[in-house]
Amino acid sequence: MSIGERIAALSDQLTDLDDEWRDAFHAVPRHLFIPDKAWCHPDDGPGFLIDRTADPEKWLDVAYSNTAIVTQIDDGATELEHGQGDYTSSTSAPGVVAAELTLLDPYDGDEVLEIGTGTGWTAGLLASRLGDENVTSIEIDQALLTTATEHLKKAGLSPRLVLGDGAKGRREGAPYDRVHVTCGVREVPYAWVEQIRPGGAIVLPWMPRWAGGHLVKLIAVGDGTAVGRFHGGVDFMLLRSQRWSHPRLEDVYRKSTTYLDPRRVVRSSYGAEVAIAGMLPEVYGMHENQEGGEFHLSLWSADSDAQVHYAPDYKGVAILQRGPRDLWNELEAAYLRWVSWGSPHKDRFGMTVTSEGQHIWLDSPDHSLAVPVELR
């Protein structure tokens, strides 16, 4: 199969790809951006190494499949062959790239600031559509930036690549029409809002601590704020400065019981996910389905944790909490508050970013979900 046929076959699978981005997918072949050795990370199975020298056909098959390909682990400290560790750079799955670029929806001639150059593929897609001179992409890692420059050269493209912390944006080129963020963001850096034109848009993968990530499109209002809505689900590696690790706590656990099934809190809907993340922005959650129908939920904040264990034989659910906050009680109250609003879906929520920070709202920007004092 020729490269053109491979691109056409992949593009046919991507429902979000409009004709203009489809042309860009042809003009900027993805395989030019994949290192000879990389780690394939499919959603539905174990990861594996692709090696162009050992198996060139398989390497190409993966390059033109709808999967993320990891190109760096532990900031380069771990060899890709191991496949284990924190994934710190990748080319995202083409379906995710198509969804984010379609949401970005630039006009011809728009100036775009991209955060997270990675392999350079998305910077190349933007440059092919808008012109090299209209695209600036920032990467924090020098080694990645160097290989991205080489990849782009092979594709005949040369957008402006900048080494630096993308959280600061790039004042020199502002104002931008679009900011395209390709690393996960917990709190939106205000510099991006300051650096877009009124009516301009920032598209970013919002990765709250609680549950999954969502694409967000924020539009600059012109008064120093940006407002937007949530779109499809995503999972991105985080902006370096927003990485998080579990606190080490030594307090003794307090025991209690609850009658709310924690599986309902976790599985309710994307609306519940956004509402809880909006009400409890500092709370991180992880759950596990265990043998025999048992279920375990762990919660953390910077200074507290909670362990919630459901077993089918007991009417009550066992809770262990420590630290100054009762995280399960806070989560229970937030979840039931969402239920009391009529369990609204994700499309009724939105986000506003101001110089003071960000908040999530229901139905209209004045209905913030800021946590009332009694829940603390």
CB of 156 to ligand SAM, least distance (A): 17
Cα-based torsion angle of the residue sequence 183, 188, 191, 197 in order, rounded to the nearest 10 degrees? 90
Calpha distance 121→30 (Å, rounded): 7
Closest CB to ligand SAM among residues 156, 316? 156
Helix/strand/coil for 10: helix
CA 367 and chain centroid, separation: 25
Find where tokens 């990370």 sit.
41
Catalytic residue among 11, 90, 92, 304: 92
Backbone angles phi, psi at 32, to 5 degrees: -65, -15
Largest Cα–Cα distance of the chain, in whole Å?
65
Closest CB to ligand SAM among residues 243, 376? 243
Closest CB to ligand SAM among residues 243, 267? 243
Extended strands (E) in the chain: 37-41, 48-51, 68-73, 87-91, 112-115, 135-139, 160-163, 176-181, 196-206, 213-220, 226-234, 254-258, 284-289, 295-300, 305-310, 317-322, 349-354, 357-362
**Interface with ligand SAM (CB under 6 A):** 88-92, 115-116, 118-119, 121-122, 138-141, 144, 165-167, 182-183, 236-237, 239-241
* 92 is a catalytic site residue: yes
Q: Are 210 and 276 in contact (CB under 8 A)?
A: yes
Closest CB to ligand SAM among residues 147, 304? 147
Catalytic residues: 92
